[in-house]
Amino acid sequence: MLQGRLIVVVAVVLAVLCGGSTTVAETGIGVNWGTMAFRKLKPSTVVDLMKDNKIGKVKLFEAEEEVMKALMGTGIEVMLGIPNEHLSLLSSSPAAADMWIQKNVSAYIYKHGALIRYIAVGNEPFLTSYNGQFLNFVMPAIQNLQQALVKANLAGSVKLVVPCNADAYESTVPSQGAFRPELTQIMTQLVQFLNSNGAPFIVNIYPFLSLYDNGDKLGYGQMPIVIGEIGWPSDGAIGANITAARVFNQGLVNHVLSNKGTPLRPNSPPMDIYIFSLLDEGAKSILPGNFERHWGIFYFDGKAKYPLNLGLGNKELKNAKNVEYLPSRWCVASPSSDMSNVANHMKIACSVADCTTLNYGGSCNGIGEKGNISYAFNSYYQLQMQDARSCNSDGLGVITSRDPSVGACRFILGVTDKGSDSSASQITTYKYHLCILLVILIIQWIL
């Protein structure tokens, strides 16, 4: 009797906290779409950008409701990511796995819905820098998620994969490499699972020349390979520039489309490649380097950085349409003010906004002291939606209607995001996590 009542309680919790909208897609070249930006384009604008450029595959790093809704009915194939920090819960709770599949996959897969082909269980969870933090969660999470897909009658169409970084194997010559000793067992299990379920091995690798030469390590020489991330940054460091990015990415596309493969797999290029990335992400961590915010083939506002033929029908990239910019106003250093006390204002501005192009090797590194100050002031001003008070800086900043961009140094103009309700999205995410926690606690109480 008690169990029956508790089951009813669980059902009520699910309905009240987890309930939401019931609204619920061939090319070998795809893109990674990350959303760690200060000012995001509307998801519908980004999806239209992909459609205009005939990009038919996209890899997402997590399930965001607005993004998934924008992809519905487009025919764009989706690789949907699960962040590493979710693996612990998914590995320990079949109920949590069921709920994740229901909320983020089943809710969007139906006629004219989203075309979800893969679920990426974690993102490079075997990285050396993680010190084995996620190692024991991956396979249990995969097993729980696979069972959830079976229950949802989706196991035949949606495949589980694990994006792996190239540091998962050791060798001075890639074609003679082997997986790191501590990964041998789990990699054997993973490859066996992928093979038995008809799923590809996903590798994220830079640069392209060593991309999939590790294809015959555990006796699965015919397993299809997908390149989950590959690209070249365009700013923020020496060697990260527009010219290098264009040469690398165009060479990458040309090589893949040539079907040449590698010496180990001649005439067998990867079945798919996902260029890293679609858009610049100005809010990403710069711990690896300032270049981390400049991987996009498009700027944050959907403007193409350089001509690039993806081999998908357009000879060059097309810019995003209908982008809603803030008025043509910029904040710059006052030409008549003494800048001797500007250091603290610069520090404040760059601690909040993105100033990575000012660093050594960046596109704005050589524009002079006043130029550096102006760039920092403007980045903060645009981030604050052009609030006049954010430009004052004790009288050191002034607003101008003249674009202060210099050569390759592009002073940004902010975009609005009127079509997106980020606060609602955050509430939905909070409700989801609270829901999972409560269900787990109730289940433990029952048992």
Residue 59 CB contacts under 8 Å (≥ 6 apart), including other chains: 30, 31, 32, 33, 78, 79, 81, 120, 228, 229, 274
What does the DSSP 8-state code read for residue 240? B
Judged by DSSP in three states, 345 sits in helix
Indicate whether 345 and 207 sit together in one domain.
no
Indicate whether 213 and 240 sit together in one domain.
yes
Indicate whether 279 and 396 sit together in one domain.
no
301 assigned to some structural domain: yes
pLDDT of residue 43: 97
Task: Determine which helix (DSSP H) or strand (DSSP E) holds 423, and give its type and residue range.
Answer: helix 422-446
User: How many other β-carbons are positioned within 10 Å of the β-carbon of residue 87?
Assistant: 22
pLDDT of residue 309: 97
Instruction: Kindly list the distances between the CA atom of residue 304 and the CA atoms of 207, 280, 301, 421, 425, in Å, as whole numbers in the listed order.
Output: 22, 11, 9, 26, 28
Instruction: Kindly list the distances between the CA atom of residue 273 and the CA atoms of 93, 144, 316, in Å, as whole numbers in the listed order.
Output: 32, 28, 18
Give residue 159's domain range: 25-322
Residue 229 annotated as catalytic: yes
Catalytic choice (229, 281, 324, 369): 229
Parallel, antiparallel, or unpaired for β 225-230 and 201-204?
parallel
CATH value at residue 39: 3.20.20.80
Residues of the chain falling short of pLDDT 70 = 1-27, 171-177, 207-216, 218-221, 262-265, 267, 417-447
Indicate whether 149 and 217 sit together in one domain.
yes
Indicate whether 293 and 369 sit together in one domain.
no
416 assigned to some structural domain: no
Does residue 248 contact residue 302 with C-beta atoms inside 8 Å?
no
User: Which of 301, 322, 343 marks a domain boundary?
Assistant: 322
Q: pTM of the entire structure?
A: 0.83
Indicate whether 393 and 288 sit together in one domain.
no
Judged by DSSP in three states, 31 sits in strand
Indicate whether 347 and 310 sit together in one domain.
no
pLDDT of residue 219: 62
Q: How far apart are the first and last CA of the chain?
A: 14
Indicate whether 304 and 344 sit together in one domain.
no
Does residue 82 contact residue 100 with C-beta atoms inside 8 Å?
yes
Find, among 330, 340, 328, the residue nearest to 396 by Cα.
Answer: 340
Residue 97 CB contacts under 8 Å (≥ 6 apart), including other chains: 90, 141, 144, 145, 147, 148
Domain count, the chain: 2
pLDDT of residue 423: 37
Q: Find out whether the peptide bond into 94 is cis, omega within 30 degrees of 0.
A: no
Residue 445 CB contacts under 8 Å (≥ 6 apart), including other chains: 6
Indicate whether 220 and 181 sit together in one domain.
yes
Residue 124 annotated as catalytic: yes
Does residue 303 contact residue 320 with C-beta atoms inside 8 Å?
yes
pLDDT of residue 224: 86
151 assigned to some structural domain: yes
Catalytic choice (65, 124, 281, 292): 124
Judged by DSSP in three states, 160 sits in strand
User: Which of 322, 350, 383 marks a domain boundary?
Assistant: 322
Indicate whether 289 and 179 sit together in one domain.
yes
Supply the angle between the helices 94-101 and 138-151 in degrees, to the nearest 10: 60
Instruction: Kindly list the distances between the CA atom of residue 376 and the CA atoms of 238, 331, 346, 371, 417, in Å, as whole numbers in the listed order.
Output: 20, 9, 6, 9, 22
Indicate whether 120 and 34 sit together in one domain.
yes
pLDDT of residue 382: 97
pLDDT of residue 24: 29
Indicate whether 218 and 347 sit together in one domain.
no
pLDDT of residue 264: 67
